[in-house]
Amino acid sequence: MTEPAPYSSVDLSLIKQILPHRYPFLMIDKVRDIVPFEGGVGIKMVTSNEPHFQGHFPEEPVMPGVLIVEAMAQTAAIVVGVSTNIIGGDMLTYFMGIDSCKFRRKVVPGDILELNVKCLRPGGKVWKFRGEATVDGELAAEAEFMAMMAPKPKA
């Protein structure tokens, strides 16, 4: 296994070197408190100008639950990237499955979503995580999910 990269926090620039996602599907703004092979905390600043709020719901904008889960998965992919030092490399982390997902509170524009992910099974080709999304310390969503590492497709 490659030596972990020496990052306890990553900004948007480094996130883009690990994830292939871009606007409007990049769901995290930074990741902090990264402990390789253990977990980290993603931060999503929820703003009213995000495209999904035009239709979900125009009179009462609510962040779709699947996007909250995607934000947890993207946070987990950053933990994998830092843990395995694949920053700017030839590997990607793909979402594989989700279990025990529950939504507990609405997430709305103006909220700061904290995405706490813990590695339940780190290392190797398949990783398993537990994620909790909170706003102001209040649980908004929780899930267990798996991700798989695979080579980037050749252009």
Tokens of 150: 């695979």
> Does 56 participate in catalysis according to the annotation?
yes
Tokens of 1: 């296994």
Residues 133-149, buried b or exposed e (16+ Cβ, 10 A)? bbbeeeebbbbebbbeb
Torsion-angle region of 85 (φ positive above 0: left; ψ -120 to 50: alpha; else: beta): left
- Please pick, among 16, 21, 32, 56, the residue that the annotation labels catalytic: 56
65 burial type by CB count under 10 A (0-12 exposed, 13-18 middle, 19+ buried):
middle
Tell me how far apart the alpha carbons of residues 90 and 18 are, in angstroms, rounded to a whole number. Answer: 10
Annotated catalytic residues are 56
